[in-house]
Amino acid sequence: MSTATADDGRSAADQGHSVGEPPKRDIRQLRALVGFVAPYRWPIAGAVCALTLAAATVLALGQGVRRLIDGGFANSDTGVLNSALLVLFGVILLLAFATYCRFYLVSWIGERVVADLRKAVYDHVLGLNPAFFEVMRVGEVMSRLTADTTLLQTVVGSSASMALRNLLLLVGGLVMLSITSPRLTGLVVLVVPFVLVPIIFFGRRVRGLSRASQDRLADVGAHVDESLANIRTVQAFGHEPTDRARFADRVEDTFATSVRRIRARALLTAFVIVLVFGAVGVVLWIGGHDVLSGRISAGQLSAFVFYAVIVAGSVGAISEVIGDLQRAAGATERLVELLRLEPEIASPRDPQQLPAPVHGAVAFEEVSFNYPSRLDRPALTEFTLAVRPGETVAIVGPSGAGKTTVFQLLLRFYDPQAGRVSLEGIDLRALAPADLRAQIGLVPQEPVVFSDTAAENIRYGRPGASDAEVRAAATAAAATEFLDRLPDGFAAHLGEKGVRLSGGQRQRIAIARAVLRDPKVLLLDEATSALDSESEQMVQQALDRLMRDRTTLIIAHRLATVMRADRIVVMDHGRIVATGTHDSLLAENGLYSRLAALQFNASGITDIVAGDVPISAVSV
C-alpha cells in the first residue's frame, strides 16, 4: 500500500505523538515564519523606515537637551533657548508621527500574518485523516490555532519591532555615549554587568512563574469547558457541589501561583530601581566632578545621562523580548509541526475518473485492517463482500464486530493494510477522495448538527442547493413538521450541537442532508435508532424512497430495517460468519438468531416471523 508520509518518514498518525511533546525554545524556529511574512514586503519596509526614524529622533533628543542647557541656560541666551525649544518640539512631533506609522504597520503585519497562519493550519488539519485524531486531542489542535497563534501575533505585531527598535537605540546610544564622554562610557561599560546579571536572574524566575500562572489558568478554563459542556450530566447526577469544590480549588491554585509571580515581579522592580538609579547616581556624581573641573559641560553631562538611561532601558527591554521570542519559537514549532504532517489518505498524483454515470458497484476483496491506535487487534480480517448496483445490504453483528469499520474504509477515512476496496471496479486508492465521497451519502447513528440555521444544516449535504431543494429534502425526511413550527422556520438557529432539537429531530436533519446529497451509494448507520414509532414510520418511508435504485449499506439492529434488505451479512470479530435473508438466517439457528433471542424468547421470534408482533418494536 502506498501512502503519503511526512518529511521525516512518519505518517500523520505516527507524528501525533511527537506533536504533543514539549517544544524547544530555540529562536531559530521563528525562521519558519518567513514564508508567511515575505508577501508583505512593502508594509515591512515602511515599518522599518518608521522604526529607524523613531529611534533616530529619540537619539536626537539627547542633542536637543545638550544644546538647550549649554546654549540657553549656561549663556543666559533666551533666543537660543527659544529656538532650541522649537526644535525640540519639532523632533517630538516627528517622533510621534514615526511611532504612529511604526505601531500601525507592525500591528497590521502581525494581525495579517497570524490570520494567514490560522487559515493555513486549519485548511491543512481538515485534510488530515481520522487516524491522526486517534492520537491527537482535538483540544490540542484548538490550542495551537488560538493560544499559539495569539502569542505569535504579539511577537510579530509588537515584540519583534520592539526588539529591533531597542537594538537600534542600544547601538545608537552607545555610539552617542562614546562621542559625548569616552571616560564616563568606560565607567558605564564596567558597571553594566553588575546590573544586568541580577536582573536576568530574577527575570527568569518571573517568567517561570508567569508560565506556571498561565498553566493554572488553563486548568480553570478546561474545567469550566468540560463541566458546562456536559451540564445535563452534571445536574442529573447531582454533581454540582463536587464540581464547585474542584473549581474553587483550581481558582485558589491559580491565585496562589499569581501571588508568587506578583511578589517576584515586585521584588524584581524594586531591585531594578536600586541598581539602575544607583548606577545613574554614581555616574552623575563622577560626571558632576567632571563638570566642576571643566572636563565636560553641563549639557554634555545631561546628554550623557539621557543616553545612559536609553541604553539601560534598551538592554532591559531586549532581555524581556528574548523571553517572548523564545516562547514564540515554541509556538511556531508546534504550528509548523502540524503544517508538515502529510495526510495518509492523499489524492494520487494522477487520479482515475469514475465512469459516468456511476452505478454504485461496491466490493471488498480480502480486506484486513487494524486501527492505528489498536494495532494489536484486527478490526477486519480477510473481509470479502460484493454489493451489486442498487442492492440493499444490511450488516448486523455484536458490538466490535467491524460493522462501522466497513463504512470507514468505504469512505476512505483509512486504507486497509491488505486487500482492496473498490467502487465501480476502481481501487479507492486510485481515486481522489473528494470524487469518491461525492458519490456517498452518510446518515450516522449519532447525527451531527452544526451551530447554524436549519436550512444551512440541511444544505451541508450540497452547499449549492436552493431553498426549494432544501425544503424538498426536509419534506422527504419528515422534518418540515417540526421545522415549520420553529419561530424562524428554516432560518432558526439550532444551537450548539442542535441543542434546540430532540434526538429524533436531529436524526431527521441528518437524513434530509443525505436526501439532498442524492448519492449513488447510501450508508445508513442505525438511521432510525433515535426515532419513536410514529416518526420511524415516516422516516422509513422516506428512506425507502431514498434507497430506491441506489446501492445501500445498512448497519442495523432493528428487524424492520433488516427484513427490507435484499441481503443480510452477519459479522463477528471482523469476519463474515453468515449471509442470507432474514428467514434463512433464522433457520440456521446461528449468530443471527442468537442476537434476536437476546431480547425475545423462541416463541417471541416465532410470533415475529408470523407477524403477530410489530416488526418496528424488535431489535437484533
* Per-domain residue ranges of the chain: 7-180+330-344, 182-295, 447-518
pLDDT at 531 over 70: no
Read off the pLDDT of each residue in 145-151 and give the average, rounded to a whole number. 76
Percent of the chain with pLDDT over 70: 80
CA distances to 145, 149, 598 from 119, in Å = 9, 11, 51
Q: Strand, helix or coil at 469?
A: helix
Higher pLDDT, 529 or 24: 529
The pLDDT value recorded for residue 15 is 47
Predicted pLDDT of residue 582: 81
Residue 597, pLDDT > 80, answer no
Q: Where is mean pLDDT largest: 194-203, 317-326, 407-416?
A: 407-416
| pTM (2 d.p.) | 0.67
User: What pLDDT does residue 28 have?
Assistant: 67
**What is the C-alpha to C-alpha distance for residues 511 and 531, in angstroms, rounded to an integer?**
12
Under the banding of pLDDT at 50, 70 and 90, the label for residue 6 is: very low
Least confident residue range of 178-192, 438-452, 589-603: 589-603
- pLDDT tens for each residue of 87-128: 778 888 888 898 888 888 888 888 888 888 888 888 888 777
Q: Is the pLDDT of residue 3 over 50?
A: no
Residues paired with residue 456 on neighbouring β-strands, in sequence order: none
Q: Which range has highest mean pLDDT (292-301, 346-355, 499-508)?
A: 346-355
Tell me the CATH number of domain 447-518, given options 3.40.50.300, 3.50.50.60, 3.40.50.11930, 3.90.198.10.
3.40.50.300
3-state secondary structure 398-422: CCCCCHHHHHHHHCCCCCCCEEEEE
- Reduced to 3 states (helix: H, G, I; strand: E, B; else coil), residue 557 is coil
Fold of 7-180+330-344: ABC transporter transmembrane region fold (1.20.1560)
Mean pLDDT for the stretch of residues 219-244:
76
Question: What pLDDT, on the 0 to 100 scale, is given for residue 26?
Answer: 57
How far apart are alpha carbons 477 and 541 in whole angstroms? 9
Using an 8 Å Cβ cutoff, are 113 and 75 in contact?
no
Hey, what amino acid is at 214?
Q
Q: What is the pLDDT of residue 560?
A: 60
For residue 18, pLDDT over 50 is answered with no
Residue 611 has pLDDT above 50, yes or no: no
Whether pLDDT at 605 is above 50: no
Q: Above 50 in pLDDT, residue 218?
A: yes
Do 7-180+330-344 and 447-518 share a fold? no
Q: Compute the 3-state secondary structure of the chain and give helix, strand, coil in percent, each to the nearest 5.
A: 65, 10, 25
Ramachandran area for residue 465 (φ above 0: left; ψ -120 to 50: alpha; else beta): beta
pLDDT at residue 163 greater than cutoff 60: yes
pLDDT range class, residue 613, cuts 50, 70, 90 = very low
Mean pLDDT score of the chain: 77
The closest of 18, 27, 22 to 328, measured between CA atoms, is 27
CB 458, CB 516: distance < 8 Å: yes
pLDDT of 444 strictly over 80 = yes
Q: Which of 19-28, 67-76, 443-452 is most confident? A: 443-452
Tell me: the pLDDT tens digits for 59-93?
887 777 777 776 655 556 666 667 767 777 888 88
- Cell 433515535 belongs to 530
Mean pLDDT (whole number) for 198-220: 69
Judged against a pLDDT cut of 80, whether residue 283 lies above it is answered with: no
